[in-house]
Structure 1
Amino acid sequence: MDVIKREERKKNKNEDIGFRVAFRTKSAIEIMDDGFKWRKYGKKKVKNSPHPRNYYRCASRGCFVKKRVERDSTDASFVITTYDGTHNHQSPCVLYYNQTPLLVPTGWTLQASHDPS
């Protein structure tokens, strides 16, 4: 996975609207689990690419982070995921160990360990 772009974005000189971060990841699937819940709100054909771009919003109430997902136009084995903004809440899949947040993908199942002694 490569971070291909990270920039601070401002609507005007007084209003900060967060960060934009883009990742380029080699993947056979387009939607990768990042620990957050997303709601798809659009799809658009991309100029000079046979692959569409999908648009998502964070499903948490009051969070305005958006995500764009598209195949790389030069190498379709890569997915480019771009995040706009900063979440105002924890991931629903965060566990804590010694007060340190640990991200757990939603596909994992956690089970209590049993001590045989």
Structure 2
Amino acid sequence: MAWIGQEDLNGFSSSLKNRFDAAGKMLEKLRNRCLVFVGDSIGRNQWESPLCMLSSALLNKTSIYEVNVSPITKHLGILVIKFEDFNCTAEYYRSPYLVIQGHAPVQKG
């Protein structure tokens, strides 16, 4: 069994700090803009992941809220999370079918 030394823990804490710094840098790039995801349940999961990372970069968690005041678990297809300190939003629009449904062509012969 390997032992984790103090130097390993220091490296871990600095890499963890860099990860949160990256989220802060992304929020700076999103200042006065919106980030939009369109898709089905997989797209929603891809939308939720950056929300968690971005929210972890903020000290004031009360400055993050859902604009339409709907619970994130029960919604009608549109979710808009506002990061008030940066005047930016992360939006999710549910669209299970991104292409027009059709039928396979009939083969003749």
Same fold (TM over 0.5): no
Q: Which has the larger radius of gyration?
A: 2
Structure with the larger strand share: 1
Normalised by the size of structure 1, how large is the TM-score?
0.27
Normalised by the size of structure 2, how large is the TM-score?
0.29
